[in-house]
Chain A
Amino acid sequence: MTPPFRRILIANRGEIAIRVARACRELGIESVAVYSDVDRDAPHVRAMDHAERIGPTPAAESYLSVDAILDAARRSEAEAIHPGYGFLSESAAFARAVESKGLVFVGPPAETMEGLGNKLAARRTAVAAGVAVTPGLLVPAADARPSEIEDIGYPLLVKAAGGGGGRGVRRVDGPAELDTALDTARAEAVAAFGDGTVYVEKLVAPARHIEVQLLGDRAGGLAVLGERDCSIQRRHQKLVEEAPAPNLSAATRAGLADDARRVAEAVRFHNAATVEFLVDESENRWFLEMNTRLQVEHGVTELVSGVDIVAWQILVAAGEHLPPEVMEARPTGHAIQVRIYAEDPWNGFGPSAGTVGAWQMAAGPGIRVDAGVEPGYELPTAYDPLLAKLMVHAADRGAAVARLRRALDETVVSGMSTTLGFHRWLVDQPAFVDGRYDTGLVSDAWGDGPPLTEHDRSLASAAVAVARRDLADSRPHEDAAAGLALDGERPWSRLARTEAVDHE
């Protein structure tokens, strides 16, 4: 097969840039990395065939700079640009600028992105297509506090109108909190998207967050690749996703697929997109938004459907039609993804920073790791703190949960706090094991996180007591390759009783 393009520029960084580069390589397409100054030696740069500098570290001057990226595409003679997720992936202006240079934008048409990127227009589209929406209101940056907000009723959600991904979402329980929430959401909206317009909507709770993956070709072919449950969130941003959604009636599953198809058919659409819904306890469903880009969690759908979504994004961008095996793909088994973020779950999932020390990822049957970091990698604070995504696939949900638990026990990261501690806790929670949870799980069941157990203390102190002695013994060889320093020693070091400290 002739490759659909000779060379694609990947306008992103981290794990998603590497993911797209892998698809390119499999398709016989050369990849072009772009990098800001801090990313000069980043793993995504080395993963590709070519690399172009696009500017200084701040995203606004590099990964968000349309001019810098188009210039890099010109220099590298790329024929198409894949935007990944985040950054410029939902910018209609960027898509239009790419096409105006005679390049192919690997994503939906600019006017579709424009229509759906505006939350109010997206909701009008859904309503016109006969799909239910939650009551909501768009608040321009200049409008301090429109009185219509009070008509929606509390509790409310306030969020950035541009883009998806849960950036800048605030819960508001009463009028007293509204002004602060609007200000904060505006500030984050400006920081993330350069536009202070915010969106206010009614909060449905308890609810599950379920989304449907779509793939469309330029000839109107539309594949509905099933749903994902993305209810495990902190700050309204996803932490864990699974496909299919557990404990969902067949009627609701079919209804969600149908709603998603209707929204997509109401707009001119091709490439990849996701239609997001809230589903309440009675399985009522409301359209939330349609994201016209690849999602962070596309991998779980790839695992259960067998469809390489990224490869098909590229192929349909080149004009190929979706074949029957994609159009009729049905989920097999169950897949779960956990996101490994540089955050401290015991500190309100606040950011952590540092240099990756240990980096041991799970392997073996049914495991997929999409990572953007490696040992010795210093995490830049300028970008999203996602380090890697750990995915498992198994015959059914029970086996997938067991596999995830096994995979997490194999996974070791040091140098900074990560969300792995939360995930290891999660896989032992009855609500998760039974697949009966909603978007309140993190705030309700996790709270501030479980306290240290005696077992934790015992392990941690013993590890330091032995390591301290062991490392002191071998200090001249500390940098020797793994294992060498053990020569001549018995492999298992034991903490001698005399080392146990008697402190009085």
Chain B
Amino acid sequence: MSDEIELLVGGEPVIPDAEWSLVWVDRRQRIAILRRGPEREAVAIEGGGAEWAVTVRGRRIAVGIRSHRDRLLAETGVLTARLGGPAEVRATLPGLVVRVGVAVGDEVAAGDSLVTIEAMKMQNEIRAPRNGRVAAIEVEPGQAITSGALLVRLADPEP
């Protein structure tokens, strides 16, 4: 059966070099050594399905796998996103909401701080991914949130 997939590293398709060989150092922890000629790198491999991560020289690199069908869908999706439409701003980390810097109806520009989340004793600004108008605020200060929690809904800016 042909395995028609595409590997994406940093969002770009990559054709794996067949010269790399792999030996597991610890299969349970998924630590392996990759070799190519004189080169030798210890890596950790995580994930499965469509989402993987490989830690190389201490850097955790996301590797995606998608089929042709997924790729076609994604290309259509990119087009839709450019046209605007509502956007959901989500927490990129778990923590505690310490500040909500916007109110419903506020116009925001891409990069504006929307919500401040405290995690590991640091304050982290969650910023607007694009220009827009705040349509809804889903959290309040003092609330504990998980990674991926919906924080703010953005609508298109007023014309």
Q: Which residues of A contact B (CB under 8 A)?
A: 167, 184, 187-188, 191-192, 235, 342, 344, 346, 350-353, 357-360, 375, 381, 383-385, 408-425, 452, 456-468, 470-471, 474, 479-486, 491-497, 499-503
Contact = CB atoms under 8 A, between A and B. Distances in A.
Contacts of A484: 27
Interface string B41-52: 111111110001
Interface in B34-64: 34-35, 41-48, 52-61, 63
A459 B24 contact: no
A501 B20 contact: no
B15 A501 contact: yes
Interface in B45-95: 45-48, 52-61, 63, 65, 68, 92-95
Interface string B11-26: 0111111101111111
Contact of B31 (A360, A384, A420, A452): A360
A408 B56 CA distance: 11
A479 B20 contact: no
A486 B17 contact: no
Candidate in A383, A471, A474, A479 with the most chain B CB atoms within 10 angstroms: A471
Contacts of A416: 60
* Among all A-B residue pairs, the 9 with the closest Cβ atoms: A420-B58, A414-B44, A421-B59, A421-B58, A462-B20, A358-B44, A460-B54, A358-B29, A465-B16
B16 A495 contact: yes
18 contacts: A350-B124, A351-B95, A352-B93, A414-B46, A415-B46, A420-B59, A458-B14, A458-B16, A463-B32, A463-B45, A464-B47, A464-B52, A465-B16, A481-B28, A492-B21, A492-B23, A496-B18, A503-B13
A395 B75 CA distance: 57
Given A466-B22, A467-B32, A192 B121 contact: yes
B53 to A, nearest CB: 7
A411 B70 CA distance: 36
B24 to A, nearest CB: 7
Contacts of A483: 24, 27
B56 A460 contact: yes
**Interface size bracket, B side:** 35 or more
B4 interface: yes
Interface string B79-122: 00000000000001111001100000000000000000011111
Given A381-B94, A412-B44, A458-B16, 14 more contacts: A187-B98, A187-B123, A350-B124, A351-B93, A359-B29, A360-B29, A360-B42, A457-B9, A461-B16, A467-B52, A468-B65, A485-B27, A493-B22, A493-B23
Contacts of B99: 187
B28 A463 contact: no
B20 A353 contact: no
A424 B57 contact: yes
Interface of B: 3-7, 9-10, 12-18, 20-32, 34-35, 41-48, 52-61, 63, 65, 68, 92-95, 98-99, 118-124, 147
Contacts of A486: 24, 27
Contacts of B3: 499, 501
A464 B54 contact: yes
Contact of A461 (B14, B48, B57): B14
B4 to A, nearest CB: 7
Contact of A463 (B6, B34, B60, B147): B34
A471 B44 contact: no
A357 B30 contact: yes
Candidate in A167, A352, A479 with the most chain B CB atoms within 10 angstroms: A352
Contacts of B93: 350-353, 381
B22 A467 contact: yes
Contacts of A350: 92-93, 122, 124
B142 to A, nearest CB: 12
B55 A494 contact: no
Given A460-B61, A500-B16, A501-B6, A413 B44 contact: yes
B26 A358 contact: yes
Given A353-B147, A464-B63, A493-B23, A479 B16 contact: no
A357 B22 CA distance: 19
A495 B30 contact: no
Nearest to A414: B44
Nearest to A382: B120
A418 B98 CA distance: 25
Contacts of B32: 463, 467
A497 B16 CA distance: 9
A214 B52 CA distance: 47
A422 B60 CA distance: 11
Contacts of A491: 23
Nearest to A452: B10
